[in-house]
Structure 1
Amino acid sequence: MGLLSEGVTQVVIPLAALVGIGFALLQWFLVSRIKVSVGSGEEHDGITDRLIGADQEEGVDTLEVTIKCAEIQNAISVGATSFLFTEYRYLSIFMGVFGVIIFLFLGSVKGFSTKSEPCTYNIGNTCKPALANAIFTTIAFLLGALTSVLSGFLGMKIATYANARTTLEARKSVGKAFVTAFRSGVVMGFLLAANGLLVLYVSINLFKLYYGDDWEGLYESITGYGLGGSSMALFGRVGGGIYTKAADVGADLVGKVEKNIPEDDPRNPAVIADNVGDNVGDIAGMGSDLFGSYAEASCAALFVASISSFGTHHDYTAMSYPLIISSMGIVVCLITTLFATDLFEIKSISKIESTLKRQLLISTILMTAGIAIVTYFALPSEFTLFDFGTAKIVKNWHLFSCVAIGLWAGLAIGYITEYYTSNAYSPVQDVADSCRTGASTNVIFGLALGYKSVIIPIFAIAVAIYVSFSLAAMYGIAVAALGMLSTIATSLAIDAYGPIGDNAGGIAEMAGMSRKVREITDALDAAGNTTAAIGKGFAIGSAALVSLALFGAYVSRAGIKAVDVLTPKVFIGLIVGAMLPYWFSAMTMKSVGSASLKMVEEVRRQFNSIPGLLEGRARPDYASCVKISTDASLREMIPPGALVMLTPLIAGTFFGVATLAGILAGSLVSGVQVC
Structure 2
Amino acid sequence: MSRLNLAQSMWAQGIELTGGDRGLVAIVAVVALAALAIGYVLLREVLAAGQGTQKMQEIAKAVQEGAAAYLNRQFRTLGIFVVIVFALLFALPAEDWSERLGRSLFFIVGALFSAAIGYLGMWLSTRANVRVAAAANEGEGGREKAARVAFRTGGVVGMMTVGLGLFGAAIVVLAYAGAAPKVLEGFGFGAALLAMFMRVGGGIFTKAADVGADLVGKVEQNIPEDDPRNAATIADNVGDNVGDCAGMAADLFESYAVTLVAALILGTAAFGTQGLLFPLIVPAIGVVTAIIGVYITRTKPGESGLTAINRSFYISAIISAVLCTIAAFVYLPGTFAGLTGLAPERAAAEGSPAMIAAVAVIIGIVLAGVILWLTGYFTGTDYRPVKDVGKTSLTGAATVVLSGISVGFESAVYTALVIGAAVYGAFVLSGSTIVALFAIALAGCGLLTTVGVIVAMDTFGPVSDNAQGIAEMSGDVEGEGAKILTELDAVGNTTKAITKGIAIATAVLAATALFGSYKDAIDKALGGVAQGLGLSGSYEIIQPNLLVGLVIGAAVVFMFSGLAVNAVTRAAGAIVFEVRRQFRDNPGIMDGTTKPEYGKVVDICTRDSLRELATPGLLAVLAPIAVGFGLGVGPLAGYLAGAIATGTLMAVFLANSGGAWDNAKKLVEDGNHGGKGSDAHAATVIGDTVGDPFKDTAGPAINPLIKVMNLVSVLIAPAIVTLSIGESASPGVRAVIAVVAVLVIVGAVLVSKRRPTSIADDKASEDAASTTA
TM bin, normalised by shorter chain, reads 0.7 to 0.9
Is the 8 Å Cα contact of residues 22 and 174 (structure 2) preserved in structure 1? no
1:4, 1:378 within 8 Å by CA — same for their partners in 2? no
Match for 1:436: what amino acid? Answer: L
Instruction: Give distance in 1, aligned partners of 2:174 and 2:18.
Output: 21
Asked whether the equivalents of residues 290 and 449 of structure 2 are also in contact (C-alpha less than 8 Å), the reply is no
Deviation of the 1:383 alpha carbon: 2.1
Corresponding position of 1:401: 359
Match of 2:449 among 486, 498, 502: 486
Deviation string 1:63-87 (CA, Å, 9 cap, x unpaired) is xxx1111111111111111111111
Query: Is contact 2:59-2:470 (8 Å) kept?
Result: yes
Give me the whole-angstrom Cα distance separating, in 2, the residues matched to 1:614 and 1:638.
Answer: 38
Is structure 2 residue 386 aligned with structure 1 residue 428?
yes
Amino acid paired to 2:56? C
**Amino acid paired to 2:145:** K
Residue 303 to residue 309, structure 1, CA distance change in 2 (3 Å): same
Match of 1:418 among 350, 373, 376: 376
User: 2:614 is matched with which residue: 616, 638, 652?
Assistant: 638
Output aligned runs, 1:200-219, within 5 Å.
200-208=169-177, 215=178, 217-219=179-181
- 1:2–1:379 Cα contact (<8 Å) kept: no
Q: 2:91 and 2:321 mapped to 1: Cα distance?
A: 43
* Per-residue Cα deviation, 1:185-229 (whole angstroms, up to 9, x for no partner): 100111111111112211222234xxxxxx1x3322222111111
Aligned counterpart, 1:441: 399
Partner of 2:711: none
1:153 aligns with 2:106: no
Q: Which amino acid aligns with 2:615?
A: P
Instruction: State the Cα deviation string for residues 121-175 of structure 1 (Å, max 9, x = none).
Output: 4xxxxxxx3x333212111211111111111111111101111011000012101
Shift of the alpha carbon at 1:487?
1.1
Q: Is the 8 A contact 2:159 2:287 kept in 1?
A: yes
The equivalent position to 2:28 in structure 1, one of 6, 9, 13, is 13
Paired amino acid for 1:494:
M
Select the residue among 55, 58, 81 that pairs with 1:94. 81
Distance 1:421 1:309, change over 3 A: closer
The answer for the alignment partner of 1:56 in structure 2 is none
SS in 1 for 2:301: coil
CA contact (8 A) 2:172 2:183 kept: no
The answer to whether the 8 A contact 1:469-1:476 is kept is: yes
Aligned to 2:106: 140
Paired residue type of 2:292: I
Q: 1:175 to 1:555 in 2, by over 3 A?
A: same
Aligned residues of 2:158 and 2:452 also touching (Cα < 8 A): yes
Q: 2:107 is aligned with what amino acid? A: F
- Which structure features the higher share of helix residues? 2
Partner of 2:350: helix, strand, or coil?
strand
1:383 & 1:78 partners in 2: Cα distance? 57
**CA displacement at 1:614 relative to structure 2:** 0.8
Which residue number corresponds to residue 300 of structure 2? 346
- Further displaced range: 353-362 or 268-277: 353-362
Could you say which residue in structure 2 is the equivalent of 1:379? 332
- Determine the structure 1 residue equivalent to 2:474: 511
- The whole-number CA distance in structure 2 between the counterparts of 1:507 and 1:401 is 47
TM-score w.r.t. the length of structure 2 is 0.77
Aligned-partner residue type, residue 142 of structure 1:
I
Amino acid at match of 2:544: P
Stretches of structure 2 lacking an aligned partner (at least 5 in a row)? 1-15, 430-434, 524-534, 652-773
How far is the alpha carbon of 1:105 from its aligned partner? 2.4
Tell me how far apart the structure 2 counterparts of residues 584 and 142 of structure 1 sit (CA, whole Å).
25
The amino acid that maps onto 1:328 is I
Inter-partner Cα distance in structure 2 for 1:249 and 1:193: 33
1:329 aligns with 2:286: yes
Alignment of 1:176-325 (within 5 A): 176-208=145-177, 215=178, 217-311=179-273, 315=274, 318-325=275-282
| Match 2:308 to one of 355, 360, 380 | 355
SS in 2 for 1:263: coil
Distance 1:150 1:232 in 2: 10
Partner of 1:527: 491
Contact 2:36 2:163 survives alignment (8 Å) = yes
Corresponding position of 2:640: 664
Instruction: Tell me how far apart the structure 1 counterparts of residues 18 and 424 of structure 2 sit (CA, whole Å).
Output: 29
CA distance in 2, matches of 1:203, 1:390: 26
- Structure 1 residue 309: deviation in Å? 4.4
Deviation at 1:602, TM superposition (A): 0.5
SS in 1 for 2:590: coil
Contact 1:250 1:600 survives alignment (8 Å): yes
Distance in 2, Cα, partners of 1:80 & 1:516 = 30
- Bigger drift between 217-226 and 566-575 goes to 217-226
Query: Is the contact between residue 241 and residue 462 of structure 2 (CA under 8 Å) also seen in structure 1?
Result: yes
Tell me, yes or no, if structure 1 residue 26 matches structure 2 residue 2.
no
Contact 1:106 1:133 in 2 (8 A): no
The structural deviation recorded for 1:521 is: 0.8
**1:2 Cα deviation after fit:** 14
Distance 2:41 2:474 in 1: 29
**Secondary structure class of the residue paired with 1:381:** coil
User: 1:306 deviation in Å?
Assistant: 1.5
Q: How many angstroms apart in 1 are the aligned matches of 2:227 and 2:64? A: 18
Do the aligned residues in 1 keep the contact of 2:270 with 2:438 (CA within 8 Å)? no
2:739 match: none
CA RMSD across the alignment: 2.0
**C-alpha distance in 1 between matches for 2:279 and 2:132:** 36
Deviation at 1:291, TM superposition (A): 1.0
Give, in whole Å, the separation in 1 of the partners of 2:543 and 2:417: 28
Q: Distance in 2 between matches of 1:508 and 1:335?
A: 31
- 3-state secondary structure, aligned to 1:240: helix
Q: Give the deviation of 1:347 after TM superposition.
A: 2.0
CA distance in 2, matches of 1:674, 1:531: 20
